[in-house]
A = this chain, B = another copy of it.
Amino acid sequence: MEAFKPTKRTRLRRLPKRGHYDRETVYAILDAGFICHIGYEIAGQPYVTPTSYWREGDTLYWHGSAASQMVRTLEAGAPCCVTVSHLDALVMARSGMHHSINFRSVMAFGRAHKIEDPAAKLAALDAFIERMYPGRNAELRRPSAKELRVTTVLALPLDEAVAKVRTGPPVDDEPDYALPVWAGLIPVEMKFGKPIDDPLLAPGIVPGAALKRYRPGRG
């Protein structure tokens, strides 16, 4: 896969070693997340809306009510920035100012468009379920015409993006290493818990294969 070309908006000026432009790194970070933060502007006011999303190939997707302000703003062609971030560790150094966090994040810039073709829209929504719960679509009631009508799917071509990553131990000023202060990492992980039945679940129905990915205790 061809790497992203750094642009005025994606080139890291400070700490450039934290920046990654290869699609493997960017896509792995995107694929590890469930909520993205979409930045857009209405009448001079920035908004940041947290939303579920999915990636297929070189496109990032999300959906929303056709009536939502975010959806209407973006389908009209407003520029946006979509950010996904994961916290991996709290980094404790020997001075306050060198405390930090280990994280992985992606920022993607561009303009999203609405998927108009009904078949393409249905395929995109199926891909969302499939990405989240492999095999699940086959178990479900299909989307109705009305559901499809009131839902908009937006697609952002991944043309301009950058990953920013911090890993590793704290970095202290040289003289501070002599201080008798504990320093290190507190790892932070996202973990899945034990599935909880819907209280209205009919007796005898057990989770299907689609839940394999979410084994309790895994992240």
A interface list, Cβ under 8 A from B: 9, 13-14, 34-35, 37-41, 44-50, 52, 65, 67-69, 79-83, 85, 87, 89-90, 92, 94-97, 99, 101, 103, 105, 107, 109, 125-126, 128-129, 132-133, 136-137, 139-144, 147, 151, 169-170, 172, 176-202, 205-208, 210-211, 214
Complex: A103 Cα to B50 Cα, angstroms: 10
Q: A50-B83, A94-B140 are in contact. Are A182 and B199 (CB under 8 A)?
A: no
Q: A105-B50, A169-B199, A198-B169 are in contact. Are A137 and B96 (CB under 8 A)?
A: yes
Q: A97-B151, A151-B97, A205-B180 are in contact. Are A38 and B48 (CB under 8 A)?
A: yes
Of residues A9, A35, A50, which shows the largest number of chain B Cβ atoms within 10 Å of its Cβ?
A50
Complex: A183 Cα to B129 Cα, angstroms: 14
Are A39 and B34 closer than 8 Å at their CB atoms?
A: no
Contact of A40 among B46, B65, B195 (CB under 8 A): B46
Please name all residues of chain B whose beta carbon is closer than 8 Å to the beta carbon of A65 when the two chains form the complex. Answer: 14
Of residues A96, A193, A214, which shows the largest number of chain B Cβ atoms within 10 Å of its Cβ?
A96
Are A103 and B35 closer than 8 Å at their CB atoms?
A: yes
Are A189 and B179 closer than 8 Å at their CB atoms?
A: no
